[in-house]
C-alpha cells in the first residue's frame, strides 16, 4: 500500500487529499494549525469566491505563461464545477463572474471537504508542523517540530505562501522546497492596500469613489483598473487599489519609482468634464470647492483643489481659464507616488515562490525530486482578485492528487 503525505490543509491540500485517497493508498494530511481550511474560511469576505466564470490564463502572473495554460487545460473550470457539485455544493454567480457556494458561506466549503476526507478515511493530523523532510533511500522522512518522525513513499507539498500569517501564512513551504533542491523566487505581497505618503490625502479616510487607477513606470502604462477606491488613513484600499497593488509592489521592490494616476471621472473626457464644471460655475460668488458639491464628494473636491495649489476660499469669479483647466487635469489625473509596500499580514496572496520550470504542469511532480509534488500558492504563480487564486489551488491540488 502506498503511503502518501500531504503537507498543508488549505485549498490545494484538501482537494489533493480527496483525489489521492483510494483503497490501495494510505493518505495522511498534516496541518500545522488546529483547524483545516482557515484561509478558505476567510476568502470572499467570508463567502468564499471559489472560482470565476471568466477563467483565463491571462488572469495569472507567472514567468512561464504556458505553465498556467497547461495546468488549467488539465483541470480547469468545468472539472472544478463538477467536483464541487458532486460533493453537494451548488454555485451562485456574483459580480464579474465570481462563483460562490449557494449558501454564501465559506465555512460550507471547508465543512464539505472535511466530510469527504473523513468519508475517504484520510488521516488528518492537526497541530503538526513538518519541520524537516529528508530523503531516506526511496522514502521521505518527515520530522515535526515535536520531533515525531514519519516515513512516506510520496509527498505533496501544499503549504501555501507567507501571505497573511495571522491565518497560517509562513515561509516554511519555501524552506522545505529549498532544502529539497528547488529554487525559490523571492516572494512579495500581492493584492493588498497601498501606502501613499501624501499626508493630505489621508484626510479622505473612509470615503469611497469609483475611479480609474493607472500605474505608470517611466511614462509606460503597466496596468490599470476601474472600480471602487477606498481612501484610508495611510493611503488607498478597495478593489481598485488591491487590483493594481501587485504591479506597484513589484516595481518598488525592483527599485523603480512607479506613478499611480487616479481618474475620478473615468467615463467623461476632459473636454466634457470642463463643460460639466462650467455649468456648475454659473454662480460666480460660490467658493470653487462648494460649487462642485453636486458632482463629487465635498471632501474630495476640497483636498484635490488643495493639492493643486488653490486657496480654500477661492471664488469662482476669480478663476482664470488656465486655472479651470488645471482643476480638470487633477480630477482626471491625480498623480501619486506609492510608499513602501505594506506587510504580508495584509496580503491576500504572495507573488513569487517555487520556480515553475522545476515542476511538471500535467501532474505537479517535481523535476528535481521524484515522488515530490508541489501545489497552490507555494509555486511562483499568482492570480488577479476574483477567485483565480483559489482556482489555481483547486487545479494544481487535484492534479497532484490524481497523479498518485
Return the DSSP state at 399: H
Distance CA 289, CA 312 (A): 7
**Cell numbers standing for residue 73:** 487545460
Give the CA count within 13 Å in the CB-facing half-sphere of 199.
Answer: 0
| Shared-domain flag, residues 198 and 292 | yes
- For the stretch 109-126, what's the b/e string if a residue is b when 16 or more beta carbons lie within 10 angstroms of its beta carbon? bbbbbbebbeebebebbe
Task: Please write the tens of the pLDDT for every residue from 229-246.
Answer: 999 999 999 999 999 999
**Please, which pLDDT band fits residue 50 given cuts at 50, 70 and 90?**
very high
pLDDT at 265: 98
Three-state DSSP state, 395: helix
> Could you identify the residue written with the cell 487529499?
17
**Cell numbers standing for residue 76:** 480547469
Q: What is the mean pLDDT of residues 252-276?
A: 96
Residue from 32, 117, 80 nearest 392 by CA: 80
| Shared-domain flag, residues 15 and 157 | yes
| Shared-domain flag, residues 319 and 359 | no
Computed over every residue of the chain, the mean pLDDT equals: 96
| Shared-domain flag, residues 112 and 50 | yes
For the whole model, what pTM was predicted? 0.93
pLDDT over threshold 90, residue 373: yes
| Range of the structural domain that residue 217 is part of | 193-341
| Shared-domain flag, residues 214 and 183 | no
| Shared-domain flag, residues 11 and 152 | yes
pLDDT at 136: 86
| Shared-domain flag, residues 87 and 233 | no
| Shared-domain flag, residues 161 and 72 | yes
- Determine the Cα angle at 77 with ends 404 and 223, to 5°: 115
pLDDT at 107: 95
CB 25, CB 404: distance < 8 Å: yes
pLDDT at 249: 96
The pairing of strands 130-136 and 91-93 is: unpaired
DSSP string, 1-65: -EEEEEE--SHHHHHHHHHH--TTEEEEEEESSSSS-HHHHHHHHHT---EETT--GGGEE-S-H
> Hey, CA dihedral for 368, 374, 379, 381, is it positive or negative?
positive
Chain centroid offset of residue 206 CA: 22
| Shared-domain flag, residues 14 and 160 | yes
Distance CA 167, CA 153 (A): 30
Three-state DSSP state, 217: strand
Among residues 306, 341, 376, which one ends one of the domains? 341
| Shared-domain flag, residues 177 and 39 | yes
Task: Please write the tens of the pLDDT for every residue from 116-141.
Answer: 999 999 999 999 999 999 998 889 99
CB 83, CB 394: distance < 8 Å: yes
pLDDT at 43: 87
Distance CA 60, CA 114 (A): 28
Helix axes 106-119, 11-20, angle to 10 degrees: 30
Task: Please write the tens of the pLDDT for every residue from 188-247.
Answer: 999 999 999 999 999 999 999 999 999 999 999 999 999 999 999 999 999 999 999 999
How many Cβ atoms sit within 10 Å of the Cβ of residue 268? 16
| Shared-domain flag, residues 329 and 355 | no
Distance CA 170, CA 345 (A): 10
- 213: which strand partners? 225, 262
Alpha helices in 157-237 (DSSP H): 172-179
pLDDT at 241: 97
| Shared-domain flag, residues 309 and 202 | yes
Distance CA 134, CA 151 (A): 10
Chain centroid offset of residue 51 CA: 13
Query: What is the CATH number for 315?
Result: 1.10.8.50
Q: What is the mean pLDDT of residues 377-391?
A: 96
Query: What is the CATH number for 373?
Result: 3.50.50.60
CA 391 → CA 21, 216, 312, distances in Å? 21, 29, 50
Among residues 289, 318, 341, which one ends one of the domains? 341
Task: For residue 186, give the H/E element and its range.
Answer: strand 184-190
Among residues 293, 325, 341, which one ends one of the domains? 341
pLDDT at 44: 82
Helix axes 38-46, 106-119, angle to 10 degrees: 150
Number of domains in the chain: 2
Percentage of the chain modeled with pLDDT above 70: 100
Distance CA 119, CA 5 (A): 18
Amino acid at each position: 500500500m502506498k503511503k502518501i503525505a500531504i503537507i498543508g490543509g488549505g485549498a490545494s491540500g484538501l482537494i489533493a487529499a480527496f483525489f489521492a485517497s483510494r483503497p490501495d493508498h494510505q493518505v495522511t494530511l498534516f496541518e500545522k494549525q488546529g483547524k483545516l481550511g482557515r484561509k478558505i474560511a476567510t476568502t470572499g469576505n467570508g463567502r468564499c469566491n471559489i472560482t470565476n466564470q471568466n477563467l483565463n490564463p491571462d488572469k495569472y502572473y507567472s514567468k512561464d505563461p504556458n505553465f498556467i495554460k497547461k495546468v488549467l487545460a488539465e483541470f480547469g473550470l468545468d472539472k472544478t464545477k463538477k467536483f464541487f457539485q458532486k460533493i453537494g455544493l451548488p454555485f451562485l454567480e456574483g459580480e464579474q463572474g465570481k462563483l460562490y457556494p449557494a449558501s454564501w458561506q465559506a465555512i460550507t466549503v471547508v465543512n464539505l471537504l472535511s466530510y469527504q476526507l473523513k468519508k475517504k478515511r484520510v488521516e488528518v493530523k492537526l497541530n503538526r508542523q513538518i519541520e524537516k523532510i529528508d530523503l531516506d533511500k526511496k522514502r521521505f522522512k518527515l520530522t515535526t517540530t515535536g520531533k515525531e518522525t514519519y516515513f512516506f513513499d510520496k509527498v505533496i507539498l501544499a503549504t501555501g505562501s507567507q501571505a497573511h500569517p495571522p491565518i497560517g501564512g509562513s515561509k516554511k513551504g519555501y524552506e522545505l522546497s529549498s532544502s529539497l533542491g528547488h529554487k525559490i523566487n523571492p516572494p512579495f505581497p500581492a493584492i493588498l492596500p497601498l501606502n501613499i505618503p501624501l499626508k493630505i490625502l489621508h484626510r479622505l479616510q473612509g470615503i469611497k469613489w469609483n475611479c480609474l487607477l493607472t500605474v505608470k513606470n517611466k511614462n509606460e502604462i503597466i496596468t490599470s483598473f476601474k472600480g471602487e477606491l477606498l481612501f484610508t488613513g495611510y493611503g488607498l484600499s478597495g478593489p481598485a487599489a488591491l487590483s493594481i497593488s501587485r504591479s506597484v509592489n513589484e516595481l518598488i521592490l525592483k527599485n523603480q519609482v512607479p506613478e499611480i494616476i487616479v481618474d475620478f471621472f473615468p467615463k467623461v473626457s476632459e473636454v466634457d468634464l470642463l463643460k460639466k464644471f462650467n455649468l456648475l460655475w454659473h454662480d460666480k460668488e460660490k467658493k470653487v470647492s462648494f460649487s462642485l458639491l453636486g458632482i463629487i464628494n465635498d471632501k474630495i473636491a476640497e483636498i484635490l483643489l488643495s493639492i493643486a495649489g488653490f486657496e480654500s476660499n477661492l471664488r469662482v469669479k476669480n478663476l482664470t481659464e488656465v486655472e479651470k483647466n488645471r482643476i480638470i487635469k487633477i480630477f482626471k489625473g491625480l498623480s501619486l507616488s506609492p510608499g513602501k509596500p505594506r506587510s504580508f499580514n495584509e496580503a491576500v496572496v504572495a507573488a513569487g515562490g517555487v520556480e515553475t520550470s522545476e515542476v511538471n504542469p500535467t501532474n505537479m511532480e517535481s523535476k528535481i525530486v521524484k515522488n515530490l509534488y508541489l501545489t497552490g500558492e507555494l509555486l511562483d504563480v499568482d492570480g488577479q482578485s476574483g477567485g483565480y487564486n483559489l482556482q489555481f489551488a483547486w487545479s494544481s491540488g487535484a492534479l497532484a492528487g490524481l497523479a498518485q
